[in-house]
Structure 1
């Protein structure tokens, strides 16, 4: 696809979904997205499971809230919104397909539905109720560049970012519901931010993480959404730990090739030694 190599604005929306209140959540998602678009955003990233909430009582509750992608109500709202506004939207959604349930992300744009990603690495009590993702690591070739997706705990696996980079991804959008990490000292930078900054630097990628805030059924979420450039430094954020807010940063994907050059003798991708450690297997 022919890519328009112009810088664009990306927004990460940090808000507080409410468990089980899909219509209320969709209204909040739409409002925040419209506000971000009015501020100039071409790409909007929303949190993980933004339509349903996160802490399900059991699989039966999940089944009552999950919907198909792209046919379901939540997906259709976002697809139509992206078309109306002429922007790209990435959002976490609870997905149902047959008897299976996935922690998924939808990707849609000015021309409608583009694709979806299903979370590969399930966290804690997601394991009894969700099925592991089975769509691999797609990289979507769009008019603004090559976009990869991941969700929350997927970001703890360096192989994921390397696989996406080798498949041509320039920007990775990550809906997330980060929770406190055990034994993290009070007041220190979130481990999630450290991991994603390292992944951006070591792969020469833009990475956009949209987290949620609040406490849901006793589970606190840590906020601190972040937009990172390909050198590993924050372009916007970290956001607050407990407030709804929207981060906006300018993304220039034409920087990717030069960002991977550390000096005249070193290239972060070109210096790899797959003869020693092999290459990760890239999913479909």
Structure 2
């Protein structure tokens, strides 16, 4: 489908969520498998491919020394270089979770790459569980990656529990939020109910009028199970693809139209989820001081 507006075409984008099972310490094999899946997604028409959190290193580190040994600089490390090569060859944008090393500091990060190379890095703001033993909290805020496909934002896993992150991205005009994630079971989660994270993603997409591409991992690593259920949510909050299975590798694909996505913020003739904010009561940018974009 193509939407025609004032002589301009707004073709659909195909986005891909890659659900895979990295293995801690097997970086070369993890990256090789992720490149295969990027190639498969691109062959099916994807323009944006999202990989899981810590897709290169695995997640459950035994010690800080192990985490440090498995982390790499970005963008000059071998994992980022391999993903950059895949993005160039396949003419896609890739958002990939990586254990990043900067001097003596480690970050749970995501590298953002396009056909012309590295676009930037997002560092996870909200650390979960034992991540506090290995990583520093992110120090790059919530950057927007301006691409020919639209405005991309990134959050990682537990960031999705904080509505402020999504709202700040929406206020900067982000069209698609890419979420590398390693979702784990939540306390008292009923076995017959979808993961809490999928509900949060749907609610956040709806309340901000933007698309969210969630790429989770599967498997059990050093006793820690992961729940799968990767998901692509449209700007009106309804799933476009997924949830994926609990335990298998999958590529989810969905079509997104940027014009329709931006219009999704208009719920009816009276209500717009961003315009209706009571910024006479609270700071529209939550105290960050970032300038509002022109949409």
Tell me the TM-score range normalised by the shorter chain. Answer: over 0.9
Shift of 1:276: 1.2
Structure 2 unaligned segments of length 5 or more: list them.
1-7, 291-295
When normalised by structure 2's length, the TM-score is 0.93
Tell me the distance in 2 between the aligned counterparts of 1:173 and 1:203. 14
Corresponding residue for residue 248 of structure 1: 253
Corresponding residue for residue 158 of structure 1: 163
Matched, 1:97 2:102: yes
Q: 1:4 to 1:218 in 2, by over 3 A?
A: farther
* Aligned 8 A contact 1:163 1:281 in 2: no
Corresponding residue for residue 58 of structure 2: 53
Alignment of 1:57-96 (within 5 A): 57-96=62-101
Tell me the distance in 2 between the aligned counterparts of 1:240 and 1:113. 31
Q: How many residues align?
A: 282
Corresponding residue for residue 222 of structure 1: 227
* Aligned 8 A contact 1:10 1:248 in 2: yes
Tell me the distance in 1 between the aligned counterparts of 2:61 and 2:289. 29
Corresponding residue for residue 271 of structure 1: 276
Tell me the distance in 2 between the aligned counterparts of 1:275 and 1:222. 41
SS of residue in 2 equivalent to 1:261: coil
Corresponding residue for residue 206 of structure 2: 201
Tell me the distance in 1 between the aligned counterparts of 2:41 and 2:218. 18
Shift of 1:168: 1.1
Which residue, out of 252, 255, 264, partners 1:259? 264
Shift of 1:281: 3.6
Shift of 1:153: 0.2
Shift of 1:193: 0.5
Matched, 1:128 2:169: no
* Aligned 8 A contact 1:136 1:282 in 2: no
Tell me the distance in 2 between the aligned counterparts of 1:263 and 1:94. 43
When normalised by structure 1's length, the TM-score is 0.97
* Aligned 8 A contact 2:234 2:261 in 1: no
Shift of 1:163: 0.2
Corresponding residue for residue 194 of structure 2: 189
Which 4+ runs in 1 deviate beyond 4 A?
none
Tell me the distance in 2 between the aligned counterparts of 1:128 and 1:52. 16
* CA RMSD, Structure 1 to Structure 2 (Å): 1.3
